[in-house]
Amino acid sequence: MTYRVVVHIHNEDPFLAEMDTMPDPRDNFVVLRNPRRRDGRALTFITEGATHFLYPWSRISFIEILEGGPASGQQLLTFFRDDTTGQ
C-alpha cells in the first residue's frame, strides 16, 4: 500500500511525497518517492531522473499521512466559501 504524506522539513516549506511502507522506529532515514510541492509542481532541488529519496530523521520535524487521494483511488474534496449572500 502506498501512503501519501506531507513531509515537514526543519526551516523549509513542506512538500508532498509517497511512501511504500511506514518507517520502522529504528530507521535513521525515511524513503520517499515522487516528492513535489503542495501545488503539484516539481521541487527545485531535485535532480531530473531521480526516483527515490532518503531523508534523515534529523531533518524532519514531522510527517502527515493523508487518507484517500490519488494514491488510493479516491478524490480529494475541497471546501469553498459561498459569497452569494452579498454581505
Residue 79 lies in a domain: no
C-alpha dihedral, 9 to 36 to 73 to 62, nearest 10° = 0
Spatial distance between the Cα atoms of 19 and 65, rounded to a whole number of angstroms: 9
Domain count, the chain: 1
Per run of 10 residues, the mean pLDDT along the chain (length 87 residues) is: 93 94 91 92 88 92 80 47 53
Residue 22 lies in a domain: yes
Spatial distance between the Cα atoms of 42 and 68, rounded to a whole number of angstroms: 22
Inter-residue contact 53 to 34 (CB < 8 Å): no
Tell me, what CATH number does 37's domain have?
2.30.30
pTM above 0.85, yes or no: no
Residue 11 lies in a domain: yes
Residue 39 lies in a domain: yes
The distance in angstroms from the start CA to the end CA of the chain is 47
Domain that holds residue 28: 3-66
